[in-house]
């Protein structure tokens, strides 16, 4: 179970997301817009903290509660996963993010991102408090991911399908693990975004774990030649780099 959660975090690469604008924040921007603009520089911890400041302020001032809630949960997860080392602080952020996103999901049941970031933060919080907590909430996590896939399948770079696939891949068979179902979800993610490296990384890892070396290599080649990724597409760039490392390792076996 712990391995599953660590792998889940790996596939998220801290915070897989929709593309956000590249402009520098201005005083005239709305609070959510300012948060969006700072979030583009999420490789920098101080920029992520500014992101959270603006999203939190939007929440307190009731500026579009639905959008502010899921974006706060996304940025909090990103900060905790990418920059925070202290486990207690990570746990607090995951819990706060899950609470805020879940409240929004209940208020706005048609909000796919609200369900998605509720599930992600619940899972990562569960890792911090123990495997039993994770097992206890696993059903709700899967249901929210399935709801998110139904409402907004493209969100977080086809994240709902990718993360569902990861769950089925990493769970032991006795409690619902299923490699065939995992592959099906990964392929759904690829069909939605056929040029997105992070989804190919998920499938290539599965094929590699199954000993399907040649198929894994052929699958990886479909996105390794991409040269149009912008530096701001952090998760996609990282996934492509990891694919190259994995391909090199497989090729040398």
CA gap 159, 116 in Å, rounded = 8
**For the chain, percent of residues with pLDDT exceeding 70:** 86
Span 189-231, pLDDT tens digits: 999 999 999 999 999 999 999 999 999 999 999 898 888 877 6
What is the predicted pLDDT for the residue at 80?
92
Find the mean pLDDT for residues 106-116: 97
CA gap 107, 100 in Å, rounded = 11
Helices (H), the chain: 2-12, 31-39, 45-60, 65-82, 87-107, 112-129, 131-151, 155-170, 179-192, 197-209, 213-224, 234-251
Q: How many CA atoms lie within 13 A of 102 on its CB side?
A: 15
The answer to whether residues 153 and 160 touch, using CB atoms and an 8 Å cutoff, is yes
Every domain of the chain and the residues it spans: 2-203
What is the predicted pLDDT for the residue at 15?
62
Q: At what angle do helices 213-224 and 197-209 cross, to 10 degrees?
A: 170
| pTM of the entire predicted model | 0.88
CB proximity list for 14: less than 8 A, separation 6 or greater: 42, 77, 78, 81, 82, 234, 235
The answer to whether residues 15 and 74 touch, using CB atoms and an 8 Å cutoff, is yes
Place of tokens 């998110």: 148
Among 19-33, 146-160, 165-179, the range with the most confident prediction by mean pLDDT is 146-160
What is the predicted pLDDT for the residue at 4?
43
Phi and psi based region of residue 129 (left: phi greater than 0; alpha: psi -120 to 50; beta: remaining): alpha
What is the predicted pLDDT for the residue at 13?
43
What is the predicted pLDDT for the residue at 144?
97
The CATH T-level fold of domain 2-203 is: 1.25.40
CA gap 178, 185 in Å, rounded = 11
> Would the pLDDT of 186 be above 90?
yes
Span 62-87, pLDDT tens digits: 778 999 999 999 999 999 988 998 99
Tell which wins on pLDDT, 22 or 180. Answer: 180
Q: Mean pLDDT, the chain, as a whole number?
A: 86
Local confidence band at 133 (pLDDT 50, 70, 90 cut-offs): low
């Amino acid at each position: 179970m712990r391995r599953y959660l660590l792998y889940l975090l790996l596939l998220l690469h801290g915070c897989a997301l929709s593309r956000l604008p590249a402009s520098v924040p201005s005083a005239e921007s709305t609070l959510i817009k300012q948060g969006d603009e700072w979030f583009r520089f999420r490789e920098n911890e101080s920029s992520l903290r500014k992101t959270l400041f603006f999203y939190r302020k939007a929440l307190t001032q009731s500026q579009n509660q639905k959008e502010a809630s899921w974006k706060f949960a996304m940025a909090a997860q990103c900060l905790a996963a990418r920059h925070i080392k202290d486990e207690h602080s990570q746990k607090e952020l995951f819990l706060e993010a899950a609470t805020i996103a879940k409240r929004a999901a209940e208020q706005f049941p048609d909000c796919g991102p609200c369900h998605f970031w509720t599930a992600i933060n619940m899972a990562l919080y569960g890792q911090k408090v123990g495997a039993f907590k994770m097992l206890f909430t696993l059903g709700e996590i899967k249901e929210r991911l399935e709801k998110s896939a139904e409402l907004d399948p493209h969100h977080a770079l086809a994240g709902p399908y990718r993360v569902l696939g990861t769950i089925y891949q990493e769970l032991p068979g006795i409690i619902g693990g299923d490699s065939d179902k995992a592959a099906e979800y990964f392929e759904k993610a690829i069909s939605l975004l056929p040029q997105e490296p992070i989804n190919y990384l998920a499938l290539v890892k599965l094929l590699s774990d199954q000993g399907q070396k040649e198929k894994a290599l052929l699958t990886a080649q479909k996105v390794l030649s991409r040269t149009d990724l912008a530096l701001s597409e952090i998760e996609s760039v990282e996934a492509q780099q990891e694919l190259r490392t994995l391909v090199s390792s497989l090729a040398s076996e």
